[in-house]
Amino acid sequence: MNDPKLDVNHELIAQADELLAENEPGHNTDQHSDEGHGKEEGPFQALIGTLGDHREIEVGPLHIVDLPVILIDDGFHFYANVDAMEQEGEYILKYHLPEEVKKDWTNREREDHKTIVRVSDHQTPALDISITSLVAFQWLAMLVLLAIFIPMGRKAKKLGGRAHKGFFNAMEGLIEYLRDNLVIPNVGSGKVGRSLTPILFTFFTFILVMNLLGLIPGGHSATGSLSVTAGLAIVAFFVIQYAAIRDAGIMAWFKHLTGGTPIAMWLIMVPVEILGLFAKPFALCVRLFANMTGGHVVLLSLIGLIFVLGLEFAPVSVAFSLFINLLEILIAFIQAYIFTILVAVFASMGMHSHDYG
């Protein structure tokens, strides 16, 4: 006797196979090319495509590892990679734009515009928390910082106030520099300054390591993602409000929203002040993202000129690329410093905004 469950499973698998065949990047490529619609992905497009967020880690043409797929949808679903997910038969990758648009895509564009859907109803899962390349490099930055500062903190307890040696001494000097030249001049050396020093130092080192990881071959700058910079900006928002409330108290913080104006103006001033509270972290978010992404685009564009202008342009392109890459190292430090000092400045502005409230 046939099992109805097995028949349903076979039907779902057949639907998945049909969808995969329709959405295969190479599907009907020759036909589209003959009609003048299809186009092959060139080296320049491939270079720019590496800036995106992917479900695998690659170093040039070398495929290093596929990243896990994690879905929350009527339960917790974990798959080792996309292929394992599709073999399971419950979810597949599907293009979410019309076929007349997809047929003009390059292979990279096809990969970047895939989304996960259920085979049964073609709906996206409730939550996709898969590990992508940018998430992996963000975690790698965390591990680097933990590997440095946990041993450093343990050794500091043993030294009992004496100076570190070697690399840890350099890190100790960096902490003191940020404290004396960034924290104290902006938020002071009082209770607020002392409480903000750890988080401001964390901002600087975390952003710096993420920036530098994007400069290694096959690396990704997590700060080139709006979701990452938005997360940093949200934390910065709460740090800024904490500094103001810790310094003046919650009532003074509410009072400063009026801007020191008469009651008749509160209907106008309060929304404007609230908008100003969110404008600062928004500026932090977009500024860091734009600067880090822009540098990588320029670098990859210079390399791509070799494929456009020919090998005779290679020496010039490589020379400029080397210069830009060295400049990117400097920019990695500068952007981390600017983000951190702006948080300190905004915190200082919040602390003094109640003076007229």
Q: How far apart are CA 113 and CA 104, in angstroms?
A: 13
Higher pLDDT, 54 or 345: 345
254 and 323 both lie in a single domain: yes
The 3 state secondary structure assigned to 209-221 is HHHHHCCCCCCCC
pTM: 0.75
Q: How far apart are CA 163 and CA 154, in angstroms?
A: 13
Q: Which of 68, 98, 128 is the last residue of a domain?
A: 128
**Residues 155 and 226 occupy one common structural domain:** yes
Query: Containing domain of residue 85, as a range?
Result: 4-128
Q: Are residues 122 and 231 in the same domain?
A: no
More reliable by pLDDT, 133 or 336: 336
Are residues 118 and 138 both part of a single domain? no
Based on the domain organization, do 210 and 197 belong to the same domain?
Answer: yes
Q: Do residues 189 and 88 both lie within one domain?
A: no
- Give tens-digit pLDDT for 104-154: 555 545 555 577 888 887 788 888 888 888 888 999 999 999 999 999 989
CA-to-CA distance for 14 and 89, rounded, in angstroms? 9
Helix boundaries (H) for 160-222: 167-178, 184-187, 191-213
Q: State which H helix or E strand residue 61 sits in.
A: none
* 210-263 pLDDT tens trace: 999 988 877 778 888 888 999 999 999 999 999 888 887 888 888 878 777 788
